[in-house]
Amino acid sequence: MSARSGIKTAMILAGAVTLLAQVAAAGGVFTLREEVEMDHSVVRLSDVVHEDIGDMKDVVLMETLPWGATKGLSRNFILNRTRSLDIELNGPVRVVLTRKMAERSAEIQKVLHARLAELFAGSKLGASVERLEIEFRNFPSRLMVPDGDYSLECRFPGNISGYRVISFTIRADDGYKRRFSTGCLFHVPVDCAVALRAIGRQEIVAREDIEWVEKDLASCYEMPVTRERDIYGMRVDRYVRCGDLIALSAMERVPDVAKGSAVLVEVSRGLMVVSANGISLEDGWMGDNILVRNKASGKIDKYRVIARGKVVPLTSSRKDS
């Protein structure tokens, strides 16, 4: 048999198969596919059969097919959903459905880097974002997300020194939502406060007690003090060795009333204001309620701090002028 006759025979057979399929479809007999890769969320009968349904009314089998999931539809399930059509189904007993996903790890890493840099620029570190380099560790190797547009959401950590784990969420149309996490090192030079002497607990830091040294933020175990207003005139709540980096968490405001200090207790009686001396039993700042022992009577009561070294009883309406 010549090549031309062979091609002609193949074309005739293909036409016959197509004709048989059309006849079967017209008679309500369809053949199910084994696997279907979907690009939309609504699953119809026309998506899961080989034949062209033609003018027949297409039936919705599933309203929503989730992203990144493999869903199996049994033949009985499909027949139950298409009872009004009075059709017959051939082929596999189960159709496997998946939604189209794409590997976009490199692209999402760039988007996350830009987002973190944007949040870094709005932080109070006082460092230049142009010198920021973010090193990702344990980033998802194969990040499968849908094709098309998506949004990325992440929360900037309160402490970005040392190694930090960042969680981020990717959202897309048709209900796709996944949460991922990655390790981050924020490499950026910052001026940090370093102790020039040993500073005891509750000591107030003066200018001559520290020096400013440039360090890589990623190498800092804790968030360091990077601004003058966060350290001068403040006190430390822990012992700091000479040469140590001073952490921001170690600083606290000097209280308006210090524990063990003498305070002036003002009590209003009509138009008269009576003053008494007392000893504060705890630290307090403006507006705080603290315990104070009256020097004369020895009685301990709660008082409200209204100014530096001055308190009033909780029932008093007197305000600091």
CA–CA distance, 254 with 115 (Å, rounded to integer): 37
CA–CA distance, 240 with 170 (Å, rounded to integer): 43
State the average pLDDT over residues 241-257. 85
Query: What type of residue is 263?
Result: V
Q: What share of the chain has pLDDT > 70, as a percent?
A: 86
Helix (H, G, I), strand (E, B) or coil at 95: strand
Q: Which pLDDT score is estimated for 125?
A: 67
Average pLDDT, the chain: 81
Q: Which pLDDT score is estimated for 168?
A: 93
Q: What share of the chain has pLDDT > 90, as a percent?
A: 12
Nearest to 249 by CA among 284, 228, 225, 227: 225
Q: Which two tokens stand for residue 11?
A: 């074309």
Helix (H, G, I), strand (E, B) or coil at 263: strand
Phi/psi at 23 (5° precision): -65, -45
Report the predicted TM-score, pTM, of the whole model to 2 decimal places: 0.59
Q: Which two tokens stand for residue 6?
A: 């062979």
CA–CA distance, 54 with 36 (Å, rounded to integer): 19
Q: Which pLDDT score is estimated for 2?
A: 52
Q: Which pLDDT score is estimated for 178?
A: 87
Nearest to 97 by CA among 143, 157, 141, 32: 32
Q: Which domains does the chain have, with CATH numbers?
A: 3-99 (3.10.129.70), 103-187 (no CATH), 194-206+221-252 (no CATH), 262-313 (2.30.30.760)
Q: Which pLDDT score is estimated for 55?
A: 66
Q: How confident is the model at residue 4 (pLDDT cuts 50, 70, 90)?
A: low
Q: Which H or E element spans position 25?
A: helix 3-26
Q: Which pLDDT score is estimated for 194?
A: 93
Sheet hosting strand 177-187, strand order edge to edge: 133-137, 177-187, 163-172, 150-154
pLDDT (tens digit per residue) in 84-136: 888 888 888 998 888 888 888 999 999 999 988 888 877 766 667 788 889 99
Q: How confident is the model at residue 242 (pLDDT cuts 50, 70, 90)?
A: very high
Give the strand pairing for 272-280 and 262-269. Answer: antiparallel
Identify the residue with better confidence: 40 or 196: 196
Q: How confident is the model at residue 23 (pLDDT cuts 50, 70, 90)?
A: very low
Nearest to 51 by CA among 77, 1, 11, 87: 87
Identify the residue with better confidence: 1 or 281: 281
* pLDDT at residue 143 tops 50: yes
Helix (H, G, I), strand (E, B) or coil at 229: helix
CA–CA distance, 304 with 316 (Å, rounded to integer): 9
